Chain A
Amino acid sequence: MTENNTSAPEKQQSLQQSARPRVNEFRRFIRVVSARWINIVGLVIIALFIIAAIFAPLLAPYDPYKQDLPAALQQPSAAHLLGTDDIGRDTLSRTIYGARISLIVGLVSVLIAAVIGTAMGLCAGYFGGWAQTIIMRFIDALMSIPPIILMMAVAALLGGGLRNIFIALSIGMIPVYCRLTNGQIISTKEADFITAAILIGASPMRIMIKHLLPNSFATLLVAMTMNLGFAILAEASLSFLGIGISPPTATWGSMVNDGYRYLLTNPMLSFAPGVSILAVVLSFNLVGDGLRDALDPRLRGII
C-alpha cells in the first residue's frame, strides 16, 4: 500500500541505514520476536500442542476410542480430569488426540494452497496479458464465495475423509496466495535485476523461482502462519457441521458438536475442545503478527 510513496524522512533513514554496519539478520529476527511477551506466549502454546500431537499415545491417560459405557457422562474427577462423553470416552485423551488432526490438516492444506496459489500468482504476474486476466478472474470468482461455504460445498460433495478435507480447505485458501504473489510480482517485475536476468538469457522458470519468488518469501511466510490458524478453524467448523473427517476420529469440531447435546449436564464436553481451538488459532495469529513485525523490511532500523 505504502511502498511507492516513501516520504523524505524515510528515504533519509534508509540512507543512514545503508551506512550502518550490517546487522546479523537472524539475531535481529530472534530479538524482535522475543521482544514482546505475547509472541513468546503464542510460541509456547503452539509448542505445547505440537508436543501433545506427537506424543499423544504417551500423554493421553486413556485410549481415545475405547468405549466404557458404565463410566459414561462422568463429571471431571481425578480419574477423568475433563470427564467422559456419552459412551464413556475420556475427554482429555480425545482432546489430546484431536490436536493431531487439527495440526496435520492445517499444515498440509496450507502447504498445498500456498504451493498452488503461489504458482498461479507467479504465472499470472510474470506473463501478464491473457494469462493474468484468466487466472485473476477465476480467483475473483472463487473469492466471491465465502471460503467456509466453498470449503463446505467441496468437502460435502466429494464426501468426507482426510484427503478430501485437504482438497476442500486448500481450494478455499488458494485465492489468498495467488493474489498476494501476483501483487508482489507486478511490483518487482520492472526492477533492474529482473531486466538484467532477462538480458543474460535466463529462462522464465529460472526468473520466477530464483529471482521473483525469494522477494515475496517473507510475506508468504507471514500469510502461511496466519492461515494455519484459519485452516484449523475451518476444519473445526466443517467437522462441527458433520461434513468432514468421519465420526469416531477425535476432532475438536465434532467433539464440540457431540457435547452440545449434553450442554446442561456436562458443559465440559464442548468447553474443552472449544478452548483448544481458540488457543491454537489465537497463538498462530499472534505469532503471525510477530513474524510480520520481524520480517517487514520497512521496520528495519526502527525495531
Chain B
Amino acid sequence: MLSFIVRRLVQTVIVVLLVTIISFLLMQLIPGDPVLTILGTEATQEQIDDLRKELFLDRPVYEQYIHWLNNSIHGDFGTSITLRQSVSKLLITRIPITLYLALLAFIGSVVLGIIFGILSAIRRGSWLDNVVSLLANTGVAVPVFWLGILGIYLFGLTLHWLPLQGYTSPFEDFVKSIKMAIMPVICLGLPFLAILTRQTRSSMLEVIRNDYIRTAMSKGLTERVIVFRHALRNALIPIVTLTGINLRTIIGGSVLVETVFNIPGMGRLLVLASFNKDFQVVQASLVIISLITCLSNLAVDISYGWIDPRVRYD
C-alpha cells in the first residue's frame, strides 16, 4: 500500500512537471513581445532592457524555465503583469472560493447522482426512469453559462428568490452565502450529476442481473438491503473511477460559472488573465489546477481498496 502511494506520488510529480513544461511552452506562443505589452509603445530602450532582465526574458528559453521552476517550487510564481501583484498571493485568496463552490457541487452531485441512478435502475422503464434519463441527457448537453443566465432570469429577476450575482464567504454571513451559492453550485454540478447518474444507472443494471442478487431476492431480503448492501457496493467501482476523472469537469466549469455569476474565484482570475495575456498568472493556475486533479485522482485510486477488498496495490 505504502509503496503504491509512493509510486503514484512520483507519477504525479512527473505529470505536474510535464504540465509546467507544456504551460511554459504555451507562453512562448504568445505573439508579440510581453515586455512591450506591459510598458506600452512609449517606453525607452533602457526601460525595455531593464524589465527584460528583471523578467529573465533576456536568457535562453531553458534558462528561463529553470529559473521559473526553481522559484515556483519555493512558492513564488512571479508577479502578475497586469494586476501588479504577487501571483501566489492572488491565487491564495482566490483558490479557496473556487474550491468551496467546487466541493459543494461535487458532494451534491455525488449524493444526488447515485440516488437518481439507483432509482432509475431499479424502476427501469417507469416514468421516473424516463424523466431521469431525459434530465441526464440534457445535463450533459446544456451550456452551463446559459443555464446560469436562465437561473438569474427566473429565480433572480422574475421571482426574486435568490440574489443575482456575487459571492459572500460562509464565515461572514452564512445564510446569505448559501443563498448566493445555490445557483452557481447547481450550474457547476449539473454536468457531473448527469454523467454520474447515467453511470450509476448502467452499472447498477449490470450488477442486478447477477445470480447473487437473485439469491438475495429469493432469501426474502428487503429491497433496501439488496440494493445498498449487495448491488451498490459492487456497482461502485466504475462510479468511483468516474468521480476521479470528472472532478476536473467541475473545476473547468468554474471558469464559466464564475464569469456568469461574477464570483472572484480562480476561474474568473484565469479568464481575465488569459484575456490580458498575463502569462505568469496563466502558467501558475494551470500548474495548480493540474496538481489538484492529480491529487484527487490519487485519492480515488486509494479508495478502491476500501470499496473493493479484492483490489490489490502491486
- Interface on A for B, CB 8 Å cutoff? 1, 137-138, 140-142, 144-150, 152-154, 156-159, 229, 233, 236-237, 240-243, 253, 256-257, 260, 263-264, 267, 270-271, 274, 277-278, 281-282, 285-286
B251 cross-chain contacts in A, Cβ below 8 A: 146, 149
CA distance in complex: A159, B274 (Å): 10
Residues of A within 8 A of B259 (CB): 240-241
Q: What is the chain B residue whose CB lies nearest that of A233?
A: B143
For the complex of A and B, 9 pairs with smallest distance between CB atoms: A146-B252, A156-B274, A141-B18, A274-B146, A282-B141, A281-B141, A144-B290, A148-B252, A146-B248
Offer 22 A-B interface pairs, CB within 8 angstroms, sorted by A.
A144-B15, A144-B290, A145-B293, A146-B253, A146-B289, A146-B293, A148-B256, A149-B285, A149-B286, A149-B289, A153-B270, A156-B277, A158-B31, A240-B143, A240-B256, A240-B259, A256-B145, A270-B149, A274-B146, A274-B150, A278-B146, A286-B137
Beyond A141-B15, A154-B29, A237-B144, list 15 extra A-B contacts (CB 8 Å): A140-B18, A144-B290, A144-B293, A146-B249, A148-B255, A149-B285, A150-B286, A152-B270, A153-B270, A153-B286, A240-B256, A263-B152, A278-B142, A281-B140, A281-B142
| Alpha-carbon distance between A263 and B293 when the two chains are bound, in angstroms | 35
Q: Which of A141, A144, A270, A277 has the most CB of B within 10 A?
A: A144
Asked if A157 contacts B146 (CB within 8 A), the reply is no
Assembled-state Cα–Cα distance A256/B142 (Å): 13
Contacting pair B152 A274 (CB below 8 A): no
Interface of B is mostly: helix
Q: Which partner residue on chain B sits nearest A242 by CB separation?
A: B275
Q: Which residue of B lies closest to A256 (CB)?
A: B146
| B302 on interface, CB distance cutoff 8 Å | no
Residues of B within 8 A of A (CB): 14-16, 18-19, 22-23, 26-27, 29-31, 137-138, 140-146, 149-150, 152-153, 157, 238, 248-249, 251-253, 255-256, 259-260, 270-271, 274-275, 277, 279, 282, 285-286, 289-290, 293-294
Q: B146 contacts A277, CB within 8 Å?
A: yes
B19, B238, B256, B275: the one contacting A144 at CB < 8 Å is B19
B274 touches A243 (CB 8 A): yes
Name the distance in Å between B44's Cβ and chain A's nearest Cβ: 27
**When A141-B290, A146-B251, A264-B157 are in contact, do A157 and B29 touch as well, CB less than 8 Å?**
yes
